[in-house]
C-alpha cells in the first residue's frame, strides 16, 4: 500500500516539475514579447519554485533562487508603478 502512495507522489511531483520547466520559458518569452510584467513575473516565480525545489536537494543553488525572486519582485514593482501612473 505504501509503495502505491510513493508511486503516486512521485508522479505528481514529476508532473509539477515538468509543467514548471515548460512554463518558465513560455511565461518569460510571453512577458518579453508582449511587454507584460505579469507574465514575466509568473515565469520568474515558476523559476523560483523550480530552483527552490532544487535547493532542498543541493545547497549550492541558493543564488539562482535569490535571482529569480529579485526578477519577480522587480516585475511586480514595475507593474504596480505603471498602474499608479496610469
Q: What angle do CA 39, 42, 46 make, to 5 degrees?
A: 140
Q: Domain residue spans in the chain?
A: 20-85
Q: What is the mean pLDDT of residues 21-36?
A: 72
Listed in sequence order, the residues at least 6 apart from 67 whose beta carbon sits closer than 8 Å to its beta carbon are none
- Give pLDDT tens digits for 43-71: 777 777 776 666 666 655 556 666 666 77
Look over the chain and give the mean of its residue pLDDT values, rounded to a whole number.
70
Confidence at residue 9, expressed as pLDDT on a 0 to 100 scale: 76
Confidence at residue 13, expressed as pLDDT on a 0 to 100 scale: 74
> What pLDDT band is residue 82 in, cutting at 50, 70 and 90?
confident
Amino acid at each position: 500500500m505504501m509503495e502505491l502512495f510513493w508511486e503516486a507522489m512521485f508522479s505528481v511531483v514529476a508532473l509539477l516539475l515538468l509543467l514548471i520547466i515548460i512554463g518558465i520559458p513560455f511565461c518569460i518569452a510571453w512577458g518579453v514579447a508582449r511587454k507584460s510584467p505579469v507574465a514575466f513575473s509568473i515565469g520568474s516565480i515558476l523559476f523560483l519554485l523550480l530552483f527552490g525545489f532544487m535547493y532542498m536537494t543541493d545547497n549550492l543553488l541558493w543564488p539562482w533562487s535569490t535571482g529569480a525572486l529579485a526578477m519577480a519582485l522587480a516585475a511586480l514593482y514595475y507593474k504596480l508603478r505603471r498602474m499608479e501612473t496610469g
